[in-house]
Amino acid sequence: MDRKWVRSITDCLPIKLNANAGMRLMETFEPIYLETARKGQLMQKINDARRILNACTLCPRNCLVDRQSGELGDCETGAEAIVASYNAHLGEEPPLVGYSGSGAIFFTHCSLKCNFCQNEDISHGGEGDAFGMAQLATTMLILQNSGCHNINLVTPSHVVPQILSALSMAIDGGLSIPLVYNSSGYDRVETLQILEGVVDIYMPDFKFWDPAVADLTCQAPDYPEAARQALKEMHRQVGDLQIGESGLAERGLIVRHLVMPEGMAGTSEVMRFIAKELSDNTYVNLMDQYRPCGQARQMPGLNRPLSKQEFEKALSEAKAAGIKRFA
């Protein structure tokens, strides 16, 4: 998409959903953030999230840097969010894509930084542009007006305060489609609690079960425990995925799991956790597209693509664990 950013929300208003822009959800559906805003609770959430930036603990890295003053921690992001791109994404899960696409906003940088990341230029390289609140709000409205079925926040964990501030402006501009929180799973429960009543659909990864693998790939041996607690909190807030009569996702949890060579992701254990600790009705996307990128090209076990046999084994493990809903 051509990067001709709208500088102020007023430059593109009124941006309203026209009658032919998607039939995106049942008319009776309303995203949960609208109720939260009507109750006057959104501003408190914005203030709570903004205060965290003064000594940042948004994610489990707990860098404690003052991002409001320009200090940078592991996510390399200061007071403003950085956006790499936005578009009507057709490559997401079917209940998100529908027939007009998921309105994906790709945030630059990442607090996890997997060494095999397929978006290395964004997560490690920092490709993107700083977005103020008005720009980010305007982007949400542009995606809605183009017919997207939802706003899909890709890698949002380190920019929650900025997202909440922009959301408030976008609501004033007429935003009325579901909000998707599309994360690595490396999320802090306290940050997720601020998002209760804001996010309609959580879509985290659960990448690895073994702390040693998480340390090897992300220098985050606490990842498995952080992901377990994060997914429990997400499921507590939104429950199993609910799909409307239109076939589009309205509310709930989608879990992604990238199957890795030589069983390094711990698929069997991850699937058992999901089925037993969350719900055997959890909507799971078991992904087979692992390929060596970045530093992983030089690492034994990670330096080759996934085989067909390895993926079939992982699928059997997921079914044996009790998972019933697959993307």
Q: pLDDT band at 5, cuts 50/70/90?
A: very low
pLDDT of amino acid 4 = 31
Contact 183, 204 (CB under 8 A): yes
Residue 243 domain-assigned (yes or no): yes
Residue 178 has pLDDT above 50, yes or no: yes
Residue 14 domain-assigned (yes or no): no
Residue 121 has pLDDT above 80, yes or no: no
Residue 20 domain-assigned (yes or no): no
| Least confidently predicted of 94-103, 123-132, 200-209, 246-255 | 123-132
**Spatial distance between the Cα atoms of 310 and 295, rounded to a whole number of angstroms:** 22
Domain count, the chain: 1
pLDDT of amino acid 149 = 97
Q: Per residue in 251-300, pLDDT tens?
A: 999 999 999 999 999 999 999 999 999 999 999 999 999 988 878 888 88
Report the CATH number at residue 204: 3.20.20.70
Residue 9 has pLDDT above 70, yes or no: no
Residue 5 domain-assigned (yes or no): no
Q: What whole-number percentage of the chain has pLDDT above 90? A: 84
Cβ contacts of residue 200 below 8 Å, gap of 6+?
31, 32, 33, 150, 178, 179, 180, 238, 250, 251
Q: Which residue range is the domain that position 215 belongs to?
A: 29-326
In sequence order, what E strands does 41-139 have? 81-89, 102-107, 129-131
Distance from CA of residue 11 to its chain's centroid?
A: 28
Residue 112 has pLDDT above 90, yes or no: yes
**Spatial distance between the Cα atoms of 182 and 202, rounded to a whole number of angstroms:** 6
> Please, is 244 exposed, middle or buried when counting C-beta atoms within 10 Å of its C-beta (0-12, 13-18, 19+)?
middle
Beta-bridged to residue 326, according to DSSP, are 284
Residue 12 has pLDDT above 60, yes or no: no
Cβ contacts of residue 170 below 8 Å, gap of 6+?
9, 136, 137, 138, 140, 141
Mean pLDDT of all residues in the chain? 91
Residue 3 domain-assigned (yes or no): no
Q: Per residue in 135-172, pLDDT tens?
A: 999 999 999 999 999 999 999 999 999 999 999 999 99
Q: pLDDT band at 27, cuts 50/70/90?
A: low
Residue 299 domain-assigned (yes or no): yes
